[in-house]
Amino acid sequence: MLAYIVKRLLQSIITMLGISVIIFALVNLIPGNPYASMIDLSMSPEQVDALLRQLGYYDPLTVKYVKWLGRMLQGDMGVSIFYKEPVAAIIMSRLGNTALLAVAAILIGSMIGIVTGIFTSRHR
């Protein structure tokens, strides 16, 4: 039993790493500069370059991934480029409505499933 648990844990870790690589690739390999909205038109090219270096834009992908994964494991999802707020705070502020929608969807789906199951079993 212990061998089975260890095997499943290792499979879970490999799966989570694979998912993290896919998410990182989807976010970072899109064309264009994701920080373009942070750049003020009055900034000089040197200031833009300094900002991009500070944000790690010029780092190799492997370095970006290791930094990103480390921050994710610590719960630091960064700052939203659009809202200029921590992403975790944005997610938490919307979690109540999301949970409400999820519970409503589960209840409606369960009711439809139960009624459909009863109807199907009676008219077989």
Q: What is the DSSP string of 59-80?
A: S-HHHHHHHHHHHHHTT---B-
The verdict on 70 and 86 lying in the same domain is no
One domain, residues 32 and 89: no
Domain count, the chain: 2
Q: Tokens standing for 26? A: 């989807």
Helices vs. strands in the chain: H and E counts, helices first: 4, 0
pLDDT digits (tens, 9 = 90+) for 22-42: 999 998 888 887 777 778 888
Do 67 and 21 lie in one domain? The reply is yes
Domain assignment of residue 25, given as a range: 1-76
C-beta separation of 65 from 21 below 8 A: yes
51 and 9 fall within a common domain: yes
Per residue in 60-114, pLDDT tens?
999 999 999 999 999 898 888 788 899 999 999 999 999 999 999 999 999 999 9
Residue predicted with more confidence, 99 or 44 = 99
